[in-house]
Chain A
Amino acid sequence: MRSLRLPSPPEQADRAAVAEGFEPVDLRLPARPAELKRARDCVATAAADFGFARKAAYELVFAVNEAVTNAIKHGSPDQDGTIRLSIDAEDDSLVCSIQDAGPFIPPSKKHEPVSVESGRGFAFMSALTDEFELLVRPAATVVRLRKLRPALVPSA
């Protein structure tokens, strides 16, 4: 009777497999637009290894791409000309941190409608992740994006 309450063995095996496949990432990217592809590929690989479904992985890639774009566009690279992208597993979430060495420059204070040409990055980041945090320090701006791995659906 007791065994009926436990998750089915295949599901446990799947979870173990994805946990083993994921490797934390700590990447220094040259602060150039041409590096965006590398950042996206890196997040896509981490998300797949962590067991994210396709749609959730795409959403995380999109959100991180916005943060890296902001860091390249508005931020300041460190002495080596790089910005930092790290990806860590925390329980059932992936946490991506994007850090540049510049002070935070707030987007226009004006309340703009969604139809304007730019300034939509923060809306995307918060809509596509489960937690969006902006850490502002004197010589660093860090965007932290957390996305939960949806519960694995046991195959019927």
Chain B
Amino acid sequence: MGNFQMSDDLLGGDVRVLRVAGDVDFDVAPQFKRRISGLIEAGDRQLVVDLSAVEFIDSTAIGVLVGAIRRMRAAGGSLVVVCDNEDVQAIFEAVGLENVIPLHHSHQDAFAALAVTA
């Protein structure tokens, strides 16, 4: 399990920020999925997933994000991802994922994207 951690806060009334830290791999992907699904089911429709403190993310965890973005869209909401880790950005670019999951470099950019896509 290692150093994987999650915490969330409600900001400005209706924007939920889920902060993820450590290594997000096949071992912890089920927990990650349950947490995001739980937030969507509980009614959150503006969700920022903050991966800034993530050291490693694997394809299983990326799949969780892809699924959550779809589910949120189907529910009429919006999910955006913040990540300023250049290693993770390079991995996304290597397989053309940056178009599927845009990685915002700051909270400011992510909030702006929420306002546009919501």
Contacts and interface: CB of A to CB of B under 8 A. Distances in A.
Interface in B65-93: 66-67, 70, 86-87, 90-91
A140 interface: no
A36 B27 contact: yes
Q: Interface on chain A toward B: helix, strand, loop, or mixed SS?
A: helix
Interface of B: 1-2, 23, 25-27, 56, 58-60, 62-64, 66-67, 70, 86-87, 90-91, 94-97, 100
A15 interface: no
Interface centre among B26, B62, B100 (most CB of A within 10 A): B26
A62 B90 CA distance: 11
Contact of B94 (A33, A65, A128): A128
Interface of A: 33-34, 36-37, 40, 54-55, 58-59, 61-62, 65-66, 69, 72-73, 114-118, 120-121, 123-124, 127-128
B101 to A, nearest CB: 9
Contact of B25 (A36, A54, A118, A124): A36
B27 A33 contact: yes
Contact of A69 (B60, B64, B90): B60
Contact of A114 (B1, B23, B67, B97): B97
Contacts of A58: 87, 90-91
A120 B96 contact: no
B117 to A, nearest CB: 16
A62 B11 CA distance: 33
A124 B90 contact: no
A69 B58 contact: yes
B94 A37 contact: no
Contacts of A62: 56, 58, 91
B25 A127 contact: no
Contacts of B66: 115-117
A127 B56 contact: no
21 contacts: A33-B26, A34-B27, A37-B27, A58-B91, A59-B94, A65-B58, A66-B59, A69-B26, A114-B95, A115-B66, A115-B100, A116-B63, A116-B66, A117-B63, A117-B67, A120-B62, A121-B59, A123-B95, A127-B94, A127-B95, A128-B91
